[in-house]
Amino acid sequence: MYRFTCYCICILILGGPFALQAQPGAVQDTLTNKIALLVQLSQSGSYEQAEVEAESLRAFMKQHQMPLTPKTITLLSSVYRANQDDRSATRMLADAELSARKDPNYTTKATLLKTIVEECKKWDLPDQALTCQQLLTVAQDSIDARERRNTAAGMRAQLDSMVAMRRLDVSEQSRFIRMERERAWLLGAAIALLFIVLLIAYFRSNERWQKILERKELEWDVMRSNIQYDAEMQQNAAVVEAVQSTPAVSAVVSVPDQYTMYQGPKPEAIALLIEPNRQVVLYLKSLLSDRFQIETANTFTEGLQLASDLMPDLIVCDALLSGKTGIEVARQIKLSERTNHIPVVLLTDKFGNEGKLDALRAGADAWFTRPVIDDEFDASVQRLLDARKAKHEQFNRFLQLYFTENRIQIEEPFLANTVQMIEQNLADPDFMADDIARKMQLTKTHYVKKLKVLTGKEPVQLIREMRLEKAKILLEKRAGTPQVISELVGFSSPGTFALAFKEYFGENTLLLYAQTIR
């Protein structure tokens, strides 16, 4: 069992594939036995006997022309070192150098020379170590050159493979239509442009025909209104002639022109008339032109579109629009968040409770039965304008009490959301109306107009007044110095804050702060 273990150790120590595989079986067994015996003697400390076995091992290997391996050199060198046999060690290293010179395999040669160099350094043989080091350098250079050649051969093989694949791709692509990328992009862009041009032409053609149809309908309406107007004028002329010819009447009867328009400065407010009858439109213009700029719409769709785009200050809508109900127009105006603040006057052909029911169904603010009476219509419009002023005063009261304990509620969601967003951003000096309009999904123009209708204030004015109201409460509660409070309410500088406070309240911030401390 011990002998078998020694055999295994020797196999692991030698490990040289050339020395173990290139010899016949009997010689290899003898070599293994000798190495095992040498290892056993070295481990037991019998170095004199071990040296005898070492010389026998060298003679055996030389007889059978077996090269020394790195492990064998290390083992023999350790035996000679134990016996201080410089001469034998020198001869063994010289034989090893000769074996390395004859080895055609640069890998095993480099390993053997590296071992020889290490042993020469141990035995203090600098000349031989230098020679072996030079041979080692040459062997390593040869190994590197061989690796480079192998790498170049591999790359060449890969290149050849890629060239073959490229030729195959070219042969496959030759069966298809080839086009440069730039030309393909240009062709695609041209096709897309042609499609867009055709689409635009299609929409323009539809729009043009639609305008032609609308123009024809308008012409028919105008012709029908003119016929009715001519009939009424003839009837009035007949009545006037009959009255003038009566002897009992001596005064000359003059018929006033009821369609004389108001001439003066152009009003800022806008009134939208949704009415298909031209005579009614002219009559309403004569009643409203002194207070409003007049815009007209003939159809259901046009009325809703103008109401959304213009956001007028007053809407007068007929209950019948070319066979369609105008009640639905008024209802949609009142249901829309964009236009629900606009006063709507409904014109109906019903009397009493039926007309009132139409107005309630539409959500109108007022209603009139045709024909409209001048005084009643003017009084109703004036009541609507006065009601708007009352709402402005109510909002001012709400604003003055907003930051106090006596705060009152406001029913309009638009104003409640606006005031809440301003309160949340009071400390931000860059907070503007654009931010509120964007959050409410409105354009700045529409938001500013709706806010002014409901409050009588521009967004900048409202933000400024809320900041000053908040500042006054903070000063009265001694929440900080005027400079600190000006920063809390979003003023860029204490000087600007003091001037604005003086202009709004008529009081000096420092005096108010000093009085509060007392």
Domain membership of residue 239 as a residue range: 186-243
Name the more confident of 114 and 23. 114
Could you give the number of structural domains in the chain?
Answer: 4
Domain annotation covers residue 299: yes
Indicate if the pLDDT at residue 81 is higher than 80: yes
For residue 15, what pLDDT is reported?
A: 45
- CA angle in degrees (0–180, nearest 5) for 222-370-282: 35
Q: Look at residues 411, 384, 391, 418 and name the one whose alpha carbon lies nearest to residue 313.
A: 384
Where does the pLDDT of residue 1 fall: very low under 50, low under 70, confident under 90, or very high at 90 and above?
very low
Q: What CA–CA distance (Å, rounded) separates 154 from 435? A: 67
> Is the CB of residue 74 less than 8 Å from the CB of residue 81?
no
- pLDDT tens digit sequence for 463-491: 988 888 888 888 888 878 888 888 888 88
Domain annotation covers residue 254: no
Percent of the chain at pLDDT exceeding 90: 3
For residue 192, what pLDDT is reported?
A: 93
Domain annotation covers residue 255: no
- pLDDT tens digit sequence for 126-157: 888 888 888 889 888 888 888 888 899 989 99
For residue 27, what pLDDT is reported?
A: 84
- pLDDT tens digit sequence for 380-425: 888 888 888 888 888 889 888 888 888 888 888 888 889 889 888 8
Based on the domain organization, do 192 and 115 belong to the same domain? no
Based on the domain organization, do 363 and 471 belong to the same domain? no
- pLDDT tens digit sequence for 319-349: 777 666 777 888 888 888 888 888 888 887 7
Based on the domain organization, do 465 and 509 belong to the same domain? yes
Q: What CA–CA distance (Å, rounded) separates 268 from 82? A: 121
Q: Which of 236-250, 452-466, 502-516 has the highest mean pLDDT?
A: 452-466
For residue 518, what pLDDT is reported?
A: 53
Based on the domain organization, do 374 and 417 belong to the same domain? no
Domain annotation covers residue 345: yes
Domain annotation covers residue 69: yes
For residue 224, what pLDDT is reported?
A: 62
Q: Select from 77, 111, 144 the last residue of a domain.
A: 144
Question: Across the chain, what does the average pLDDT equal?
Answer: 79
- pLDDT tens digit sequence for 348-366: 777 766 667 777 777 888 8
Based on the domain organization, do 122 and 6 belong to the same domain? yes
Based on the domain organization, do 284 and 231 belong to the same domain? no
> Is the CB of residue 362 less than 8 Å from the CB of residue 344?
yes
Based on the domain organization, do 275 and 217 belong to the same domain? no
- Per DSSP, 51 falls in state H
Q: What CA–CA distance (Å, rounded) separates 485 from 259? A: 59
CATH of the domain at 89: 1.25.40
Based on the domain organization, do 28 and 122 belong to the same domain? yes
Q: Select from 178, 208, 243 the last residue of a domain.
A: 243
Based on the domain organization, do 238 and 285 belong to the same domain? no
Based on the domain organization, do 457 and 492 belong to the same domain? yes
Based on the domain organization, do 132 and 8 belong to the same domain? yes
Q: DSSP readout, 106-126?
A: HHHHHHHHHHHHHHHHHTT-H
- Per DSSP, 321 falls in state E
Percent of the chain at pLDDT exceeding 70: 81
Q: Select from 89, 112, 144 the last residue of a domain.
A: 144
- pLDDT tens digit sequence for 49-69: 888 888 888 888 888 888 888
Based on the domain organization, do 10 and 61 belong to the same domain? yes
Where does the pLDDT of residue 517 fall: very low under 50, low under 70, confident under 90, or very high at 90 and above?
low
Phi, psi torsion values for 122, nearest 5 degrees: -65, -40
Name the more confident of 117 and 220. 117
Q: What number is the average pLDDT over the span 197-219? A: 77
Indicate if the pLDDT at residue 248 is higher than 60: no
CATH of the domain at 360: 3.40.50.2300
For residue 221, what pLDDT is reported?
A: 56
Among the ranges given (94-98, 203-207, 349-353, 404-408), the one the predictor scored with the smallest mean pLDDT? 349-353
- pLDDT tens digit sequence for 7-32: 444 444 444 443 434 446 788 888 88
Indicate if the pLDDT at residue 261 is higher than 50: no
Structure tokens at 44: 């037991």
Largest CA distance in the chain: 176
Q: Look at residues 89, 468, 280 and name the one whose alpha carbon lies nearest to residue 296.
A: 280
CATH of the domain at 468: 1.10.10.60
Reduce the secondary structure of 173-227 to three states and give it as a string.
HCCCCCCCHHHHHHHHHHHHHHHHHHHHHHHHHHHHHHHHHHHHHHHHHHHHHHH
Structure tokens at 31: 């070599």
Domain annotation covers residue 331: yes
Domain annotation covers residue 169: no
Domain annotation covers residue 489: yes
Among the ranges given (65-79, 197-211, 241-255, 491-505), the one the predictor scored with the smallest mean pLDDT? 241-255
Per-residue burial over 116-149, b = 16 or more CB atoms within 10 Å of its CB, e = otherwise: bbebbeebebeebbebbbebbeebbeeeeeeeee
Q: What number is the average pLDDT over the span 509-513? A: 65
